[in-house]
Amino acid sequence: MCGIVAYIGTQQAYPILIKGLQRLEYRGYDSAGIALLNGNLNIYKKKGKVNDLISFVEDKNVDATCGIGHTRWATHGKPDDLNAHPHISGNGRLTLVHNGIIENYALLKEALKNEGHVFHTQTDTEVLVHLIEEVQKRNKLPIEEAVREALTQVEGAYAIVVIDKEDPGKLVGARKGSPLVIGIGNDGFFLASDGTPIVEHTKKVIYLEDEQVAVVRRNGDYEIRTINNEIHTPFIDELTMEIGRMEKDGYDYFMLKEIHEQPRTIADAMRGRINAEKNLIRLDGLDDFKGQIDAAERFIIVGCGTSWHAGLIGKYLFEDLARIPVEVEYASEFRYRNPVVKSSDVVIAISQSGETADTYAALELAKKQGAFLYGVVNSVGSSITRLTDAGSYIHAGPEIGVASTKAFTGQVTLLTLMAIKIARERNQISEEHYSKLLHEFEKIPAKAKKVMELDDKIKYIASEIKDSPNALYLGRGFNFPVALEGALKLKEISYIHAEGYPAAEMKHGPIALIDENMPVIVIATNKSLNEKIVSNIKQVKARKGIVIAVVTEGDKNIGEIADYTIAIPETEEPFSPLLSVIPLQLLSYHIAVMRGCNVDQPRNLAKSVTVE
């Protein structure tokens, strides 16, 4: 979703902004723009990709040591050159980039029109820059104060950066609900939606908090105030991301790189946390708040998209192993449906970015009702990690491909560790079972590596089904959420309509769709339900569906009836999603490439969904 990058200092701003915008491309966007201040404000913006902007700017003046840049994911107004950011005030003095949605923009716009303001776009952002202009003009305020005053009238979410051409030594940034990070460099300041455009310049950062306004100056000074004008002394954090992990490393796409990274990222999520020899699982987030976790009567898991699918696996894990009742909620539904939340509930938020607006709002609601909040998050220092009472990072490193892969397996790894640990603490599994699980779990990274060896076979299967307009994914038990995730991966990046279903539910609807053109991907690694799955597959075959079965190595039953089989290493059933999801990721990837799709930046999708 929208990305912001800004710079003020002694270096040339243009290369920093362009590189920054390229780093932000992964968030998903449909237009890009920059404003450079060098006496005058030069604003260049283009529908399309950052490369289109670069071509457009080729013969233009880009000499400046201060500028702001933006990638826009359209909300108000279609994606075109005009609606792209930065937007400019009516008097041409201010320019601004914005991420978020100004909910009361229509009211503000009417009031401003009555004051004589003329608008040229349909965006809420143009209203915001005019509002700041009006406040500044009326009260003769320096830009940072005009921003602060104007924001008191605004409802909704925003991260903004503003330039005032009459006050060229400073940039003003503010946030509420959408992230903004300030990088403190040796030769200037960087402001951005996340650390990716900043990390190659400096590791010293401040995560701006909600309703704070920052002014950073070329001379190296900076100041942060709350919207109520109280000075705030910020905590200076250290960015932990590595640039190397943000490059493609020879892979054609980030998604492919991230799929192949999983043996390592699953191991990273376990690192220092599990020791089968010592019979130990250590998770600081759980250990430090043992009282709250022990007392919990119910877990509520909230998330969106792929993270919700990881949450559903979490439910199966916590209920199966630890015997804790779990509800899994779409954050967007939970936040608006007046749910029953008690102080004895633990609410677990699952989020790769840690910035998803709906997940954040769901947590705020649960917090008000007294629940204990736990985060399972990838992005260090993100908003959700700061709102939760405790949590565990998955340590997957930056995930750039819009379709989540390594974050998903990282989340499931963490949830599995939590479930085994809590199961033991609640005496729900025997010591023998606990130890067996630990020993097997440690083998998962090596087994994930073995799954990667199936890539050629999966590529071949992809070539056989790539032209199908539809696909059905079926799974039972722990593999039902995997079916949902497989279907989501396929539709996200290849635009093939796909549905995930509990295998036995197929009889209640989707079976009507099955004919000789319908690929049915069955995730059939469950030992306990093998016979049942075999009957489900037979039902598909009887209607001439094309069956692609993900099975456990050595499985003969299914191999005989399926059209294609993908055999993965055997493991304990609760761990099987970590292995069975990988062939589905690879299948979607190859199909999308064969269909000529932009795998890393699928149309209309955003990586970090910071608006509702």
Q: What is the C-alpha end-to-end distance of the chain, expressed in Å? A: 11
Q: Which is nearer to ligand G6P, 387 or 548 (CB)?
A: 387
From 16-24, 134-142, 564-572, 601-609, span contacting ligand G6P (CB under 6 A): 601-609
How many CA within 13 A on the CB side of residue 392?
27
Q: CB 605 → ligand G6P: shortest distance, Å?
A: 5
Q: Are 250 and 204 in contact (CB under 8 A)?
A: no
540 binds ligand G6P (CB under 6 A): no
162 binds ligand G6P (CB under 6 A): no
Nearest to 174 by CA among 193, 147, 196: 147
306 binds ligand G6P (CB under 6 A): yes
111 binds ligand G6P (CB under 6 A): no
Q: Which is nearer to ligand G6P, 196 or 404 (CB)?
A: 404
193 binds ligand G6P (CB under 6 A): no
Q: Are 375 and 349 in contact (CB under 8 A)?
A: yes
574 binds ligand G6P (CB under 6 A): no
Q: Are 580 and 482 in contact (CB under 8 A)?
A: yes
Nearest to 365 by CA among 323, 329, 403, 322: 329
402 binds ligand G6P (CB under 6 A): yes
What does the per-residue mask of binding to ligand G6P show for 263-302, with x meaning CB under 6 A? ----------------------------------------
Q: Are 593 and 484 in contact (CB under 8 A)?
A: no
Q: Which is nearer to ligand G6P, 411 or 525 (CB)?
A: 411
The tokens describing 326, both together, are 């779990």
Q: Which is nearer to ligand G6P, 132 or 418 (CB)?
A: 418
- Which helix or strand (DSSP H or E) is residue 65 part of? none
- Which helix or strand (DSSP H or E) is residue 436 part of? helix 431-441
89 binds ligand G6P (CB under 6 A): no
Q: CB 150 → ligand G6P: shortest distance, Å?
A: 30
Strand partners, 31: 47, 72
Q: CB 1 → ligand G6P: shortest distance, Å?
A: 9
Burial of 557 (0-12, 13-18, 19+ CB in 10 A): middle
CA distance 263 to 268: 9
- The residues in 323-362 that bind ligand G6P, with binding defined as CB under 6 A, are 351-353, 356, 359
Q: Which is nearer to ligand G6P, 42 or 99 (CB)?
A: 99
* Total number of residues shown for the chain: 612
Q: Which is nearer to ligand G6P, 308 or 564 (CB)?
A: 308
At 552, give phi and psi (nearest 5°).
-85, 140
Count other C-beta atoms under 10 Å from residue 608's C-beta. Answer: 27
Q: Which is nearer to ligand G6P, 505 or 612 (CB)?
A: 612
Nearest to 587 by CA among 462, 453, 489, 449: 462
Q: Give the position of tokens 């130990």.
A: 280
Q: CB 171 → ligand G6P: shortest distance, Å?
A: 27
How many residues touch ligand G6P under the rule CB under 6 A: the total is 15
CA distance 460 to 127: 52
123 binds ligand G6P (CB under 6 A): no
Q: Which of 83, 178, 262, 307 binds ligand G6P (CB under 6 A)?
A: 307
- Which helix or strand (DSSP H or E) is residue 98 part of? strand 94-99
The residues annotated as belonging to the active site are: 2, 607
Q: Which is nearer to ligand G6P, 359 or 479 (CB)?
A: 359
304 binds ligand G6P (CB under 6 A): yes
83 binds ligand G6P (CB under 6 A): no
383 binds ligand G6P (CB under 6 A): no
482 binds ligand G6P (CB under 6 A): no
Q: CB 331 → ligand G6P: shortest distance, Å?
A: 8
609 binds ligand G6P (CB under 6 A): yes
- Which helix or strand (DSSP H or E) is residue 206 part of? strand 204-207
Q: Are 148 and 229 in contact (CB under 8 A)?
A: yes
Given the rule CB under 6 A, which residues bind ligand G6P? Answer: 304-307, 351-353, 356, 359, 402, 404, 605, 607-609
